[in-house]
A = this chain, B = another copy of it.
């Protein structure tokens, strides 16, 4: 969807997922650190949450794919235009394929937490995989376009590749800081989608930014860094908020439930450590 909405939609999806992930990772870490084994931090709940997360990701992917195919003027599932003898709207199909791999990672998420015969690390690798495929597609997405257009998409490829790499490193050596960095890169990707929308399809209906001006490139370079700085600060504030909540507020709420949950959890824990 080569318009503002087509960039705002995935941007919002990624920002939403980023906030959710940073909350989830911090919650898990804080609960473990302060030994709050209340219902909110229990494994039984997390299992259900992971399944829900998978379903939400699948939903987002389906919305994205449907949006790409069935917007007015979209390809409507036609890949080849036999009348005109040319491929039919390949950019839309590119976006569809990208959404499809995120959907696949959502499916992996759901399956992993339903069937215990699947290794849990699959979810991380599936996500990393989806990001690498996205980076590959965006890298081959801008043949023959203008310098500015190419540059903003290159920055997108940079942040997506970084996200995939961090997911891969985290797959090998799990760490709360890496997970938060991962979340912040996803947030950066989300806001950068919005920025691309503003640059290429200004909301006031005016023309796109001057595509051949070196100064625009130079500005977008630091603009990208500022987006990143903001994403780091938001992740930090979210971390502080969640940790403070777990540390101080949940004390009263949790203590009474420990007894009830202990048995159910122990069973699951022994399964998870495998």
CB < 8 Å neighbour of A225 from B136, B215, B229: B136
Measured CB to CB, the nearest residue on chain B to A225 is B97
Give the docked Cα–Cα distance between A169 and B226 (Å): 26
Count the A residues whose beta carbon is within 8 Å of the partner chain — how many?
51
Contact with B along A151-186 (1 / 0, CB 8 A): 000000010000000000100110111100100000
Chain A stretch 92-124: residues in CB contact (< 8 A) with chain B: 93-94, 97, 100-101, 104, 117, 119, 121-122
Known: A33-B117, A117-B243. A219 touches B87 (CB 8 A): yes
Known: A87-B218, A87-B219, A90-B218. A225 touches B101 (CB 8 A): yes
Query: Does A254 reach chain B (CB closer than 8 Å)?
Result: no
CB < 8 Å neighbour of A93 from B141, B222, B247: B222
Chain B contacts for A86, CB-based, 8 A: 215
Give the docked Cα–Cα distance between A237 and B129 (Å): 18
Shortest A121–chain B CB gap in Å is 5
Contact B144 A214 (CB under 8 A): yes
CB < 8 Å neighbour of A137 from B173, B225, B232, B247: B225
Query: Does A83 reach chain B (CB closer than 8 Å)?
Result: no
Chain B contacts for A90, CB-based, 8 A: 215, 218-219, 222
Q: How many chain copies does the complex carry?
A: 4
CB < 8 Å neighbour of A176 from B104, B119, B129, B229: B119
Chain B contacts for A101, CB-based, 8 A: 225, 229
Chain B contacts for A228, CB-based, 8 A: 133
Query: Does A71 reach chain B (CB closer than 8 Å)?
Result: no
Contact A217 B104 (CB under 8 A): no
Shortest A200–chain B CB gap in Å is 18
Measured CB to CB, the nearest residue on chain B to A122 is B177
Give the docked Cα–Cα distance between A86 and B216 (Å): 9
Known: A33-B117, A91-B218, A136-B225. 13 other contacts (CB 8 A): A87-B219, A90-B219, A94-B218, A94-B221, A97-B226, A97-B229, A101-B225, A104-B229, A104-B232, A119-B175, A125-B177, A141-B221, A143-B214
CB-defined A-B contacts under 8 Å, sample of 8: A90-B215, A91-B218, A93-B222, A94-B222, A119-B176, A133-B225, A133-B228, A137-B222
